[in-house]
């Protein structure tokens, strides 16, 4: 904090402190105990906001008060010099307690209000007891009135701490940071209107009360509560301060002070404390509700935005292309480019996934530089891109792309020369952007299959069916020859800096005799469209149930996770599951069925099957959550137990504040929905550390364990750097 701010803070603190002391001293000379004392609220607010290092100014003002107002009291200077340190230390402890309990001057919830109320009501009592004891020991205060003096100190300070403390702390915070911490949920005009109604109500009620001797000051409660309900804690701060000023102003300046009995004073103080705490609690609930609503709405907006943005490159994705195409309609005088980075799998295997991601990002930047600014440039897959460009000749763009890739890409100590397979499709007749990209992709695949590092222009001889039909035939042959195999990847629960396996996900692989093990991305979409997809799903289900039985027999407390496609998830699947559970005698709670988010969003027919699974105790997980297909409303309608965050949300946690904010929002949403979150695709220790620190209970990814054949499955616990916990070490 700069010196001018510090000087202004001290000046405001000192003036308010000395003025309130003069007022309290005036009242205390006529009535005992003093019913109104702002010093404690000022001390606590200053130390709460700025910390214990501001104890010296409090001591200085305490000493100054003795010199200005108490010179006629023998020994007052010595008493205040000694007692000031006790007061400063006591409120410093109270302020530090609030800070350590996470309560800031800009309180955000009813929980914050409750903590503040406890500290504000309790702190003045021990401080007053020690302060008064010092006065009695020094002969300033008679021991005979010790109890009354302690009570006066306690109630006088407690009233203003509860009523004025939040407003003072917010004001000090405003001066310190230059930002107003008071968040009004409605406009300032509405708060001002209700403040005027409150003042009129309090003064009118107090005046009527003084005439008829009834407690009609309760008329002020309605506008006070309405201010807090509409305006939140910010309005509650203003309302409680106005209440205190008006009530005490009327009670102690419209009447002779010596006419007020201790019971009357206590009643006034009690009314102020109860009204203030009620108001702050209502304001806390209103503010918390507003924060929760805004956070949920922001998360919905961000998740919807992420549906159309690739987080690794911040480029529009394929869904964005589809939307853009629908909005633009048929195009003429345009062409599409479909670009794929060659040999990315080899780069990933040789240098690691993180390095291959860096290569992809570097290439995306160079592509963006080469493609005309007017083009619509999208990231359609891990190593593939597309662009819609105005014009009828792609040669200049292709030349610019080649020029940008002449220089190597530096990845650590390595230099990578990237090459591209490029397909070009011209709008020789009106074509949608989506159709142009599809045609360009066919040309790009032909370029890749011809060896890569080249570009081809689409013509009518290139057809997608030429790839589809042979693949279906090969898949059917693979099923008949038992070429499909199951891999497994552990799922971990995080606790005490250890990742402990709690389940395994079964992953389908195709052991092609010519190309080796193939991941499902290369064949699963085609497989699910075939007539024998149900047979493959039945085999996967049988393997899942057998695995669960084997784990139970070995005494392993592990669940088995399996993916179910849209064609398979129906009542017939549930009946088949019942039969296998009964045949193998397993606990259905040890099975987890994963359903893709896209299926949940698009297919209303899956709901009965999901409810049937829940009735049997089988858990349901939403896979690839965050790709934008489903809404939170849809998720709430279904019996979901687990949300698996898509890898696209986890990527970028190492260095992207935006990615971290989105992931934390999803974790909060999962907690609000009463489901568990699982972060999949954790590939770096940085991502793992952030996921664990953010409170995600479950995780899965290469940094912990890769998918592997069952005979190679490693189910040892892991540390947060991915290393296995050896036997003998506590997990």
- The answer to whether 698 and 678 have CB atoms below 8 angstroms apart is yes
**Does the residue 512 lie in any domain?**
no
Q: Point out the least confidently predicted range of 185-194, 278-287, 372-381, 470-479.
A: 185-194
Name the residue among 350, 222, 232, 365 with its Cα closest to residue 288: 232
The yes-or-no verdict on residue 138 having pLDDT over 50 is yes
Whether 188 and 65 share a structural domain = no
**Does the residue 37 lie in any domain?**
yes
**Does the residue 520 lie in any domain?**
no
For residue 557, the 8-state DSSP code is -
Q: Point out the least confidently predicted range of 92-101, 121-130, 186-195.
A: 186-195
Percent of the residues in the chain that have a pLDDT greater than 70, as a whole number = 82
Tokens in use for 339?
Answer: 């670009």
Whether 581 and 690 share a structural domain = yes
pLDDT band (50, 70, 90) for residue 220: low
Side-chain half-sphere of 371: how many Cα atoms within 13 Å? 22
- The answer to whether 153 and 146 have CB atoms below 8 angstroms apart is no
Tokens in use for 251?
Answer: 């009670």
Whether 238 and 338 share a structural domain = no
pLDDT band (50, 70, 90) for residue 139: confident
Whether 242 and 369 share a structural domain = no
The yes-or-no verdict on residue 689 having pLDDT over 70 is yes
The residue from 306, 323, 342 where one domain ends is 306
**Does the residue 479 lie in any domain?**
no
Whether 323 and 299 share a structural domain = no
Three-state secondary structure along 176-237? Answer: HHCCCCCCCCCCHHHHHHHHHHHHHHHHHHHHHHHHHCCCHHHHHHHHHHHHHHHHHHHHHH
Position with higher pLDDT, 95 vs 13: 95
Average pLDDT over residues 37-64: 80
Indicate which CATH number applies to the domain containing 540.
3.20.20.450
**Three-state DSSP state, 512:** strand
Q: Point out the least confidently predicted range of 67-76, 433-442, 660-669.
A: 67-76
Whether the pTM exceeds 0.85: the reply is no
Backbone angles phi, psi at 544, to 5 degrees: -65, -45
DSSP string, 594-628: EEEHHHHHH-TTHHHHHHHHHHTT-EEEEEEETSS
Whether 301 and 322 share a structural domain = no
Per-residue pLDDT, 254: 52
Whether 444 and 582 share a structural domain = no
**Does the residue 513 lie in any domain?**
no
Whether 681 and 540 share a structural domain = yes
Q: What digits encode the pLDDT tens for the residues 623-652?
A: 888 765 555 566 777 888 999 988 878 877
Number of domains the chain contains: 4
For residue 107, the 8-state DSSP code is -
Distance CA 488, CA 505 (A): 5
The yes-or-no verdict on residue 188 having pLDDT over 90 is no
**Does the residue 658 lie in any domain?**
yes
Percent of the residues in the chain that have a pLDDT greater than 90, as a whole number = 24
Indicate which CATH number applies to the domain containing 434.
3.30.70.270
Per-residue pLDDT, 634: 65
Whether 64 and 95 share a structural domain = yes
Distance CA 125, CA 144 (A): 18
**Does the residue 472 lie in any domain?**
no
Q: Hey, how many other C-beta atoms are within 10 angstroms of the C-beta on 399?
A: 11
**Does the residue 601 lie in any domain?**
yes
Whether 191 and 321 share a structural domain = no
The residue from 155, 181, 207 where one domain ends is 181
Average pLDDT over residues 35-59: 79
Indicate which CATH number applies to the domain containing 169.
1.10.1760
Position with higher pLDDT, 123 vs 27: 123
Position with higher pLDDT, 370 vs 231: 370
- The answer to whether 167 and 210 have CB atoms below 8 angstroms apart is no
Domain containing 163: what range? 1-181
- The answer to whether 687 and 650 have CB atoms below 8 angstroms apart is yes
Three-state secondary structure along 666-721? Answer: HHHHHHHHCCEEEEECCCCHHHHHHHHHCCCCEEECCCCCCCEEHHHCCCCCEECC
Average pLDDT over residues 307-311: 83
Q: What digits encode the pLDDT tens for the residues 501-516?
A: 999 999 988 888 877 7
Average pLDDT over residues 85-103: 86
Q: Hey, how many other C-beta atoms are within 10 angstroms of the C-beta on 451?
A: 10
Average model confidence (pLDDT) for the chain?
81
Whether 81 and 39 share a structural domain = yes
For residue 54, the 8-state DSSP code is G
Per-residue pLDDT, 277: 81
Position with higher pLDDT, 231 vs 541: 541
The yes-or-no verdict on residue 367 having pLDDT over 90 is yes
The yes-or-no verdict on residue 199 having pLDDT over 70 is no
pLDDT band (50, 70, 90) for residue 168: confident
Whether 454 and 315 share a structural domain = yes
């Amino acid at each position: 904090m700069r010196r001018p701010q510090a000087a202004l803070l001290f000046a405001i603190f000192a003036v308010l402190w000395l003025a309130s002391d003069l007022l309290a001293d005036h009242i205390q000379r006529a009535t005992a105990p003093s019913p109104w004392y702002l010093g404690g609220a000022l001390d606590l607010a200053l130390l709460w906001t700025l910390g214990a290092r501001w104890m010296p100014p409090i001591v200085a003002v305490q000493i100054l008060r003795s010199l200005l107002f108490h010179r006629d009291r023998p020994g007052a200077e010595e008493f205040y010099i000694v007692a000031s340190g006790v007061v400063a230390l006591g409120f410093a402890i109270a302020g530090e307690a609030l800070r350590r309990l996470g309560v800031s001057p800009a309180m955000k919830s009813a929980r914050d209000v409750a903590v503040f109320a406890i500290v504000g009501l309790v702190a003045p009592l021990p401080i007053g007891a020690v302060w008064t004891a010092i006065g009695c020991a020094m002969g300033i205060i008679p021991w005979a009135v010790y109890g009354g003096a302690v009570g006066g100190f306690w109630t006088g300070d407690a009233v203003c701490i509860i009523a004025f403390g939040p407003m003072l702390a917010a004001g000090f915070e405003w001066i310190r940071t230059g930002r107003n911490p008071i968040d009004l949920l409605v406009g300032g005009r509405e708060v001002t209107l209700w403040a005027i109604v409150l003042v009129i109500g309090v003064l009118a009620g107090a005046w009527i009360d003084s005439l008829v001797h009834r407690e009609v000051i309760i008329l002020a409660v309605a506008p006070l509560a309405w201010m807090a309900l509409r305006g939140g804690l910010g309005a509650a701060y203003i309302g409680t301060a106005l209440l205190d000023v008006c009530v005490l102003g009327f009670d102690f300046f419209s009447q002779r002070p010596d006419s007020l009995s201790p019971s009357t004073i206590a009643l006034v103080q009690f009314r102020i404390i109860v009204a203030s705490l009620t108001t702050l609690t209502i304001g806390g609930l209103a503010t918390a509700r507003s924060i929760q609503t805004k956070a949920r709405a922001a998360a919905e907006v961000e998740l919807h935005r992420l549906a159309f943005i690739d987080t690794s490159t911040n480029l529009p994705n394929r869904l964005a292309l589809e939307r853009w195409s629908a909005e633009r309609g048929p195009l003429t005088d345009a062409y599409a480019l479909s670009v794929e980075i060659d040999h990315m799998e080899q780069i990933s295997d040789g240098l690691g996934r993180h390095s291959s991601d860096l290569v992809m990002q570097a290439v995306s930047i160079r592509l963006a530089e080469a493609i005309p600014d007017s083009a619509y440039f999208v990231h359609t897959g891990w190593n593939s891109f597309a662009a819609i460009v105005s014009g009828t000749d792609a040669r200049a763009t292709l030349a610019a792309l080649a020029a940008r890739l002449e220089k190597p890409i530096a990845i650590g100590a390595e230099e990578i020369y990237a090459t591209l397979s490029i397909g070009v499709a011209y709008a020789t007749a009106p074509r949608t952007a989506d159709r142009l990209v599809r045609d360009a992709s066919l040309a790009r695949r032909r370029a890749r299959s011809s060896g890569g590092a080249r570009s081809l222009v689409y013509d009518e001889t290139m057809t997608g069916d030429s790839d589809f039909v042979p693949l279906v035939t090969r898949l059917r042959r693979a099923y008949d020859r038992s070429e499909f195999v199951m891999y497994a990847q552990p799922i971990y629960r995080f606790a005490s800096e250890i990742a402990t396996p709690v389940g395994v996900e079964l992953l389908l692989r195709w052991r092609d005799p010519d190309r080796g093990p193939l991941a499902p991305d290369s064949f699963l979409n085609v497989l699910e469209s075939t007539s024998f997809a149900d047979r493959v799903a039945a085999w996967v289900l049988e393997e899942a149930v057998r695995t669960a039985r084997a784990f139970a027999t070995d005494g392993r407390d592990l669940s088995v996770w399996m993916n179910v496609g849209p064609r398979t998830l129906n009542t017939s699947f549930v009946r088949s599951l019942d039969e296998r559970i009964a045949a193998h005698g397993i606990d259905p709670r040890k099975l987890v069925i994963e359903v893709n988010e896209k299926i949940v969003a698009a297919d209303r027919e899956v709901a009965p099957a999901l409810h049937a699974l829940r009735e049997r105790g089988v858990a349901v997980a939403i896979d690839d959550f965050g790709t934008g297909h489903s809404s939170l409303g849809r998720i709430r309608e279904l019996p979901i137990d687990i949300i698996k965050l898509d890898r696209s949300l986890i990527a970028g946690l190492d260095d992207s504040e935006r990615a971290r904010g989105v992931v934390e929002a999803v974790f909060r949403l999962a907690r609000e929905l009463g489901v568990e979150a699982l972060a999949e695709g954790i590939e770096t220790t940085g991502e793992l550390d952030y996921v664990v620190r953010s409170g995600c209970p479950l995780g899965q990814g290469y940094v912990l364990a890769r998918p592997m054949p069952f005979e190679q499955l490693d189910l040892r616990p892991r540390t947060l750097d991915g290393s296995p916990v050896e036997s003998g070490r506590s997990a």
